[in-house]
């Protein structure tokens, strides 16, 4: 299995997590989407920079994702207008939630393990 194949599955899963309306919809919207987000960006970086160690990619994406979460505390009108679009909300988020950070850390750990496994499988 390749990183691109996993990413191809993550895109519809991430979009579906924002549109899902069934049982557990709140958890799916709030947390599963964040996990998919971190996994996707880790795999994107992994494809772009295959020689970078997986733990560095996971740490970098985790740092950027946590910074974006903290940025949600800042709400200037221009940034709010951007967040009011589907794409802006999906990429930047809308509301700071401390629990998101826990899921980002878990996702970064999962991404590290996945990238490590993919790297081993390719060699």
For residues 22 and 39, what is the distance between their CA atoms, to the nearest angstrom? 23
DSSP classification of residue 50: T
The pLDDT value recorded for residue 36 is 94
Q: Looking at 29-123, which runs of residues are DSSP E strands?
A: none
* pLDDT tens, residue order, the chain (123 aa): 798 899 999 999 988 888 899 999 999 988 998 999 999 999 999 999 999 999 999 999 999 999 999 999 999 999 999 999 988 988 888 889 999 999 999 999 999 999 999 998 877
């Amino acid at each position: 299995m390749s990183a691109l194949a996993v990413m191809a599955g993550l895109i519809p899963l991430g979009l579906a997590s924002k549109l899902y309306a069934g049982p557990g919809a709140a958890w799916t919207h709030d947390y599963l989407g964040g996990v998919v987000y971190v996994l996707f960006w880790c795999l994107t970086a992994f494809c772009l920079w295959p020689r970078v160690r997986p733990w560095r990619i996971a740490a970098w994406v985790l740092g950027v994702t946590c910074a974006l979460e903290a940025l949600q505390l800042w709400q200037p009108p221009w940034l709010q207008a951007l967040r009011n679009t589907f794409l802006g909300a999906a990429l930047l988020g809308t509301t700071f939630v401390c629990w998101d950070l826990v899921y980002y850390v878990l996702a970064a750990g999962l991404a590290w393990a996945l990238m490590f496994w993919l790297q081993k499988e390719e060699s």
